[in-house]
Structure 1
Amino acid sequence: MINFIIQHKYLSFFTPIIVILLLAIGTKNLAFTNDYHIFFSSDNPQLIAFDNLQDTYNKTDSILIGLRDTSGIFTNKNLKAIADITTKAWQTPFSTRVDSLANYQHTFANGDDLLVIDLIDTENELNAGQIDEIASNEVLLKNRLITSQKDTTGINITIQLPNNEKLATKGQDEVVAFARNLRDEIKKDYPQFEVFLSGIVMLNQAFPEAGQEDIKSLIPLAFLIVFVLLFVVLGNIFLVLGSLILLVFAVIGSFGSVGHLGLPITPVMTSLPVIILTIAVAGSVHLMMSFVKKMRNGTDKIKAIKEAFEHNVHAITIAGITTAIGFFGLNFSEVPPFHDLGNAAAIGTLLSLILTLVFLPAWILVLPIKIKTKKIQKTHLMLKFSTFVIRSYKKILVFSLLAVIVFVSFIPLNEINDNFVEYFDERVEFRRDADKVDKYLTGIGSIDYSFKSGEAGGVANPEFLASVEKFTNWARKQSEVNNVSSITDIFKRLNKNMHGDDETYYKLPQNRELSAQYLLLYEMSLPYGLDLNNQINIDKSAIRVSVNMKNMSSKGYLGFENKADNWLKNNTPKIHTSGASPSIMFAHIGLRNVHAMLIGTAITLIVISIILGFILRSFKMGLISLVPNLIPVSMAFGLWALTNGQISMAISVVASITLGIIVDDTVHFLDKFNYGLKTLGRSAKKSVAYAFEHVGHALILSSVALTAGFLVLIGSVFEINSGMGWLTSYVIVIALIMDFLLLPSLLIFFNKSQSKNSKG
């Protein structure tokens, strides 16, 4: 292959460029997605349950405008402002409903008549004191639209976006832009309010905005780090420039492939450039360092690149293929964006492999690269280190075993946990506002229950309503719950109203026909946009009860879900159902992903080891390669338990990602060891020394590049990327230590028989 490149250097130079340009055409199809549904596969049971709920009742995607005045909400000035803001909120694009203190439908009796009015009405039927008393005692408002401290209120805008994905994306942008403009108007017109925006719509918008922020900040930093590393090591501007062009081509080709495949750009995908940069530089550095070393020894350029190529092509190819396999292993994930990241990273890895083996040698041959000759002595550091390992390999094996046992013992301390609000750090506006909403008003998360009566019109059945009320009362007593919205409270209020507002009648009607009449009378009195379709289905056979939760991790949501499920089974088995919501979806996805990735990682590890054994023509080598690749991941998760302890859906995929990456160093070391043992006929100990001499420095540099690259990700505003950056860096550093200590010790221990028959 290298002879062909030497003979056709211009063809080898321009062909990869043309291929990359063709791939780059796909970048015109790139688009950010702003829908949290992208994190769930179409067969995800929690997503299916939630979609069924959304199809049964009105959708509940919304924006919550929080208004806080520490001097109190219930003043004439503030109440008038709330009414004005509520009116303006109706102008939000794609809005179908606005709920606030202003238009809360207050009911009361006037003789034999039922009156339904806005709580804050234009005719001032109620003064500020009366509004305060009503709102503060209304269970449907407390800790939902007004706090017990009476200093914070909310205006909830329900949004119905088009079903078409492109129109929905455009509509989402319009909705958020309007909401932010409205927020700015509120701050200007009513400076007494602290204003914050939250809700599912703002969560959706936070995903692409976080991704765009990462691209602007992380990619330049990654390029800067790579440039500095390459310049320090190579010391030749043409070689550094060639390497940087290779990296740019690999990134462009990867994103172009993403565009051609029609994959969406998610916040997870924004880590792709950094991953490709680090993988590409780690792969090319072996070829470049070998070339520079030979040039400094006085070898002419053509011979130097030929020998460097022949000396490294085997290991570079194996490393590239196994790294790609590791990324393809992400297809086992339960989270579709990780499928996309894995496939795109695998394509980028293979592109960087081809560019390293074709474009880079051609670049060296075409450009006037000159490197000063200087005598290079054997590196004392590598010589001393290899001597230490060879002499102490038995002790190293024992200490390595002890270290593994210690760190692995900490793994059970990890908890599978996710908090979708905390996917974003505090630099993201959504995170700051969501924290304020949770602190001052209510949680962003909820769990919805659809209770079925089993018959049309069954929502008026007293027995059915009594069961729903029992659950409502139980849920309100739970420490995790902020508020429960249940139509049973409306039935009780209507019953009281129709009995002259007698408090003793604040209970469910005991007559089905009476309940149906109350409901009909109430619905006919409701203004446009404030109907009960968000709580009752069309044929009035089912009721939706919304349990608003405090901001919790997935562990908290799963705990409540299990507790509620058991309560329903034991107390109201006839209406037993499961909860559904985005909060429940995110709570389950981490656990599902861990289980899926355990299987995927095991399969990936076996495949990589089989490939190594086949290529190295040694089943024993394949088995030995398992150890330094499996141990770093295990030890890193033990270290993670001590430093963090939370396994999110991102952390659960790190094992598969890193398996393909850390195997690179193992491959290069095994390749040189195998060459010394079988081709040169040296003993196992001499072969270990040979491997250290020829790839020791390159392994350190590639590991430094990989670690630095993934550490760039810790600067991400998206926790999924930053957590992945931290843990991957742990794995890479531990893997380098294992490749320098444990791997050579294992090779010596398991190749004693060859040593007796060797030349040296």
Structure 2
Amino acid sequence: MLKLFSKNFWDVLARLILRNKIGILIFVVLITLLLSTQWKHMRFTYTEANLLPDEHEVNLTYNNFLDVFGEEGNLVILGIKDNKLYTVETLNAWNNLAQNFKNNPSVASVVSIKDLQKLIKNNELKKFDVQPFIKDSVKTQQELNRLKGDLFEKYPFYDNFLFNNAEVKTIRSAIYLKKDIVNTQARKDFIIDDLLPKIKAFEETYKVNVRISGMPYIRTLNAQNIVDEIGLFVAAALFVTSLIFFFFFRSFRATIISLIVVCIGVMWTLGFLGLLHYEITVLTALIPPLIIVIGIPNCIFLINKYQHEVKLHGNKVKSLQRVITKVGNATLMTNVTTASGFATFIITESKLLKEFGVVASLSIIAIFILCLLIIPILYTFLPYPKPRHLNHLNKRWIGAFVDWMERMVKERRIAIYSIAFVLIVTSIIGIFQIKISGSLIEDMPKKTEFFEDIRFFEEEFDGVMPVEIMIDTKRKKGVMKLATLKRMNELEEFINEIPELSKPVSVVSLVKYAKQAYYNGNPEYYDLPSSQENTFILQYVKNSGATDANLLSNFVDSTGQYARITTFMKDIGTDKMKTIEENIQTEIYKLFPEERYDVIMTGKALVFQKGTTYLVKNLALSLSLAVVLIALFMAFMFRSARMIIVSLIPNLLPLVVTAGLMGYLGVPIKPSTILVFSIAFGISVDDTIHFLAKYRQELLANNWRIKRSVYAALRETGVSMFYTSIVLFFGFSVFTISSFGGTVALGALVSVTLLFAMLSNLLLLPSLLLSLERSIANKEVFKEPSINIIPAEDDDAEENDILK
């Protein structure tokens, strides 16, 4: 019944398409225009990729911190390491540059050398007065030298904040953006239109190299790179796939038709992004070129079938009808399996991957519909293919390739199994060498100036990725209790011993500075006060009023109940990061009794690392679901449990080989490379479906003679599988031109996996069928399918009147 329904459905669909071609083309144009109106809703991401579900404990902890202290990633750092800075003219210009940013509406505050304040003890009023290091500007070189001596040698409070202790002092200026604009377009406008032009002008005038860093700056330029690469990927994918397509078909007409179809598919994809109000991230930016790469093989199957039919009997109407009824069903199944590979990301509960899975799977189904509608309709308006357009069907080198495959399957099956076994064993060894990477900056473009600046600040100031520790004292004004300060100080000393972390900053440093000021600025007294000293010093602090409150606001909340310790982490591996976190947590448990304190450890670096670990745990689930879904499709189509097992082996082998290669080549598991397995499996199984469908048809035609059927299926499907695999290989290779390491790895790994999958389906699969012929290829096991993916030749009716 299902078989009859399937045949009738495709016959009816063929009539509908070919009889209503004008209406369908108008419908496609209207849908394209409608979706194009949604492009205005496309938004480029202004935040880092959050890989965790919104309700995950790590996200809740991070959001709790933001509720108390606000957005933490609002700091832009400017730095110079150059002796040229220490001249009167250049230093004054540097300070004036920082002051210019204070008037910008996106800037909350700026801290430069000119803004640094001395705490001066006022014995008469028993308070601390604030006195700037530079009252107006530096007038003479002697004054500048005196400033350097005072600042660099007498005030450790500012050490590693606005300067470091290297031989050539690196000077920094800190620009704090308003927290409500950090994740908006205003941040990008400030960085691109205001900050960078002024920095460039300063560099050209004073011949110094200004380094820029901080999360707002990194995120802005990283997002800009994503935007720039979308057009590059689309253009490169169109060029490479169309070039290969033309090489195979030698037809401008067929090439142009294919380009029209995939370009409309890209327009629909962008429309889906706008319609769903999804952000364009480093992952969703890959979908438009992916649709080109996946859409071209659809075009190859349909156009190749049309030309084959025209050459066979010369009837254009019958040829187009057979394109829809015979190839349409198979192409639908292969596109459904490919879409299923992408759709498995929806279950991860990660917003980033879920949006990628939704748009990618929708777009794959859309490109199938477009191919099935547009290609047959456009060919109804075109003349018959010329003889030169059909020459590719008789290419000798393709015939030689097919002959080689058949010879290998006939004579070298033991060698094929041996190679497969060696690959599996070798790959399993490689799999155990795979590492996990939770680095925020590892995939960022390595050759860009802003990445070099990240490395510069890592070297000079021990990191740029913020790690935050928030201490809840469970009572108002509990932070300023000496017992709390001493515990915080011990924790900071522990952190300071970790080479991968920068010197921590907190209210403890401010209290130490207050003690130093109480003792008339003597740096030997830069330490926490004793209980007796604390009484006097706190009196001075309270009398200082608003001045001290402004300093405290960065470290303590308005109630005095919560304190923060901020440090910065270098770009390190996930394993090392996890060890550091565990060590700090152990120290926290030791120093802060749970009944008196709640202490959390958070920050962008840790959130991203936890997100990567979460994705790795879900990788097995996602891939398993893809295998199960595709196995169910196979069961529904072929109704043979044994055939499902045989068909999965040649498709899982390439995944194992790829995982092994990742281990040997040092490619870590990270958000970008996690995608490889589900994507490659969903695409590679398409070849298996085509081969087994043709194999079953040949079994029926050859009265269940196994060998003849296997070789006939191999010769029939080998050419199309080779064509599409080559397109997919070079199509995914386009991603290797990316400046993002993760995108390069994704493109290279998927390309290699699909190449292995083609060889596996053309050599290992037919070898298994021949070796296991008695147990799987009989009428009882290989039952009548629910759906005839490739109808038998005698199922096709003569449809000469379809266009009437």
1 CA distance for matches of 2:502 and 2:156?
11
Residue 161 of structure 2: aligned partner:
144
Q: Does 1:21 align with 2:33?
A: yes
2 CA distance for matches of 1:655 and 1:116?
61
| Normalised TM-score (structure 2) | 0.88
Give the drift of 1:442: 4.8
Q: Structure 1: which 5+ residue stretches go unaligned?
A: none
Equivalent residues in 2 for 1:372-411 (5 A)? 372=387, 376=394, 379-411=399-431
2 CA distance for matches of 1:627 and 1:495?
72
Residues 106 and 186, structure 2, Cα contact 8 Å, conserved in 1: no
1 CA distance for matches of 2:690 and 2:278?
34
Give the drift of 1:280: 0.7
Specify the code of the residue in structure 2 equivalent to 1:708: F
Residue 119 of structure 1: aligned partner:
133
The 1:144–1:459 alpha-carbon spacing in structure 2 relative to 1, beyond 3 Å, is: same
2 CA distance for matches of 1:101 and 1:611?
67
* Local SS of the residue matching 1:34: coil
1 CA distance for matches of 2:704 and 2:22?
40
Residues 70 and 179, structure 2, Cα contact 8 Å, conserved in 1: no
2 CA distance for matches of 1:9 and 1:446?
59
Q: Does 1:160 align with 2:178?
A: yes
Between 1:496-505 and 1:459-468, the stretch displaced more is 496-505
Specify the code of the residue in structure 2 equivalent to 1:181: P
Between 1:621-630 and 1:116-125, the stretch displaced more is 116-125
1 CA distance for matches of 2:372 and 2:218?
44
Residues 554 and 586, structure 1, Cα contact 8 Å, conserved in 2: no
Q: How many residues align?
A: 753
Match of 1:653 among 675, 678, 687: 675
Residue 4 of structure 2: aligned partner:
none
Q: Does 1:128 align with 2:144?
A: yes
Q: Does 1:703 align with 2:725?
A: yes
Residues 673 and 691, structure 1, Cα contact 8 Å, conserved in 2: yes
Give the drift of 1:752: 2.3
Q: Deviations over 1:124-143 (max 9, x none)?
A: 69943443234334444333
Give the drift of 1:664: 1.2
1 CA distance for matches of 2:604 and 2:474?
26
Specify the code of the residue in structure 2 equivalent to 1:156: A
* Local SS of the residue matching 2:39: helix
Residues 106 and 187, structure 2, Cα contact 8 Å, conserved in 1: yes
Residue 211 of structure 1: aligned partner:
226
The 1:613–1:675 alpha-carbon spacing in structure 2 relative to 1, beyond 3 Å, is: same
The 1:561–1:750 alpha-carbon spacing in structure 2 relative to 1, beyond 3 Å, is: same
Q: Does 1:53 align with 2:65?
A: yes
The 1:606–1:753 alpha-carbon spacing in structure 2 relative to 1, beyond 3 Å, is: closer
Equivalent residues in 2 for 1:32-431 (5 A)? 32-36=44-48, 39-71=51-83, 73-109=85-121, 111=123, 114-122=128-136, 127-137=143-153, 138-149=155-166, 150-162=168-180, 168-189=184-205, 191-333=206-348, 335-372=350-387, 376=394, 379-431=399-451
Between 1:248-257 and 1:554-563, the stretch displaced more is 554-563
Q: Deviations over 1:516-547 (max 9, x none)?
A: 434334553359xx532120011111211111
Equivalent residues in 2 for 1:577-656 (5 A)? 577-656=599-678
Between 1:333-342 and 1:472-481, the stretch displaced more is 333-342
Residues 82 and 101, structure 1, Cα contact 8 Å, conserved in 2: no
Match of 1:683 among 705, 710, 727: 705
Residues 733 and 748, structure 2, Cα contact 8 Å, conserved in 1: yes
The 1:335–1:135 alpha-carbon spacing in structure 2 relative to 1, beyond 3 Å, is: farther
The 1:444–1:92 alpha-carbon spacing in structure 2 relative to 1, beyond 3 Å, is: farther
Specify the code of the residue in structure 2 equivalent to 1:696: G
Residue 458 of structure 2: aligned partner:
438
Specify the code of the residue in structure 2 equivalent to 1:367: L
* Local SS of the residue matching 2:502: strand
Match of 1:494 among 508, 514, 527: 514
Specify the code of the residue in structure 2 equivalent to 1:552: I
Give the drift of 1:44: 3.7
The 1:684–1:318 alpha-carbon spacing in structure 2 relative to 1, beyond 3 Å, is: same
Between 1:412-421 and 1:89-98, the stretch displaced more is 89-98
1 CA distance for matches of 2:270 and 2:156?
52
Match of 2:481 among 461, 485, 498: 461
Q: Deviations over 1:262-298 (max 9, x none)?
A: 1121222111111001111122212222222333345
1 CA distance for matches of 2:641 and 2:301?
26
Residues 102 and 110, structure 2, Cα contact 8 Å, conserved in 1: yes
1 CA distance for matches of 2:581 and 2:521?
37
1 CA distance for matches of 2:130 and 2:658?
62
The 1:457–1:753 alpha-carbon spacing in structure 2 relative to 1, beyond 3 Å, is: closer
Residue 736 of structure 2: aligned partner:
714
Specify the code of the residue in structure 1 equivalent to 2:448: V
Q: Structure 2: which 5+ residue stretches go unaligned?
A: 1-12, 781-804
Give the drift of 1:203: 2.1
The 1:141–1:746 alpha-carbon spacing in structure 2 relative to 1, beyond 3 Å, is: farther
* Local SS of the residue matching 1:471: helix
Give the drift of 1:565: 0.8
Match of 2:770 among 734, 748, 753: 748
| Normalised TM-score (structure 1) | 0.93
Residues 135 and 146, structure 1, Cα contact 8 Å, conserved in 2: no
Give the drift of 1:503: 5.6
1 CA distance for matches of 2:403 and 2:25?
38
2 CA distance for matches of 1:334 and 1:207?
25
Specify the code of the residue in structure 2 equivalent to 1:268: L
Q: CA RMSD in A?
A: 2.7
Residues 161 and 172, structure 1, Cα contact 8 Å, conserved in 2: no
2 CA distance for matches of 1:136 and 1:616?
78
Residues 206 and 428, structure 1, Cα contact 8 Å, conserved in 2: no
